Amino acid sequence: MPDARTEDIQRRLKSVEGHVRGIQRMVESGDYCIDIVNQIVAVQRALKKVSGMVLDEHLHSCVSHAIRGDDEAAKERVLTELMDVFDAAGKA
């Protein structure tokens, strides 16, 4: 993964981490439930964005390389991985 992309993902994950700690403090202090839920939704959106960035990188590197290659097992492996990811995402 390119350094700039990795740094962006790490920055976003650190932000999510801080946001989650903020949510923990909100719960501990008994903040209004809807305010807490709204913050949880914001974290979920942020994680979805990071997930999309990682998946995009995977598609443009690992998957692209496997599909262009001659190794049929590698092609099947990456396609199975993608199907598993989409199946898991559908259950979330």
pLDDT above 90: residue 24: yes
Mean pLDDT is lowest, of 10-14, 16-20, 56-60, for 56-60
pLDDT above 80: residue 1: no
The enclosing domain of 27 has a CATH number of: 1.20.58.1000
Instruction: Please report the pLDDT score of residue 10 as a whole number.
Output: 97
* Average pLDDT score over residue span 57-83: 94
User: Across the chain, what does the average pLDDT equal?
Assistant: 94
* Average pLDDT score over residue span 64-79: 94
What domain range includes position 57? 3-91
pTM value? 0.84
Q: What is the DSSP string of 42-72?
A: HHHHHHHHHHHHHHHHHIIIIIHHHHHSS-H
Which one-letter amino acid corresponds to residue 70?
Answer: D
Distance CA 92, CA 88 (A): 6
Instruction: Please report the pLDDT score of residue 71 as a whole number.
Output: 95
Number of domains in the chain: 1
